[in-house]
């Protein structure tokens, strides 16, 4: 049975393989394609809608437990597969 994670954008539960892991490096959100970077990760569907919802709701900061603003440009520029 595959692990299940919750998307920080739409709050839907989904298999880990269908979500993109995002980590923070020096206040910059970084997509973790292989889900192997160290540190706390947040999971999001790799769609424009879910990424935008997570940014709008400031869900990445809460999920990653990072105080203050995050640079979201890298995750916004990430070539999304489904949207």
Domain span at residue 9? 4-77
Two structure tokens written together for 5: 């994670």
Residue 68 confidence class, pLDDT cut points 50, 70, 90: confident
Two structure tokens written together for 57: 């709701």
In the numeric block, the tokens 């990760």 are attached to 41
In a domain, 52, yes or no: yes
DSSP 8-state secondary structure symbol assigned to residue 14: E
Helix (H) or strand (E) holding 30: strand 28-32
In a domain, 82, yes or no: no
Q: How many domains does the chain have?
A: 1
In a domain, 83, yes or no: no
CA dihedral 13, 57, 28, 65 (to 10 degrees): -70
φ, ψ (nearest 5 deg) of residue 58? 60, 35
User: CATH code at 16?
Assistant: 3.30.1230.10
In a domain, 40, yes or no: yes
pLDDT tens by residue, 20-54: 999 999 999 999 999 999 999 999 999 999 999 99
């Amino acid at each position: 049975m595959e692990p299940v994670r919750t998307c920080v954008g739409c709050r839907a539960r989904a298999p880990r393989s269908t979500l993109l892991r995002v980590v923070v490096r020096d206040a910059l959100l970084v997509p973790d394609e292989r889900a192997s970077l160290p540190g706390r990760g947040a999971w999001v569907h790799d769609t424009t809608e879910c990424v935008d919802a997570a940014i709008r709701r400031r869900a990445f900061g809460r999920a990653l437990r990072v105080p203050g603003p995050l640079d979201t440009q890298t995750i916004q520029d990430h070539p999304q597969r489904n949207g």
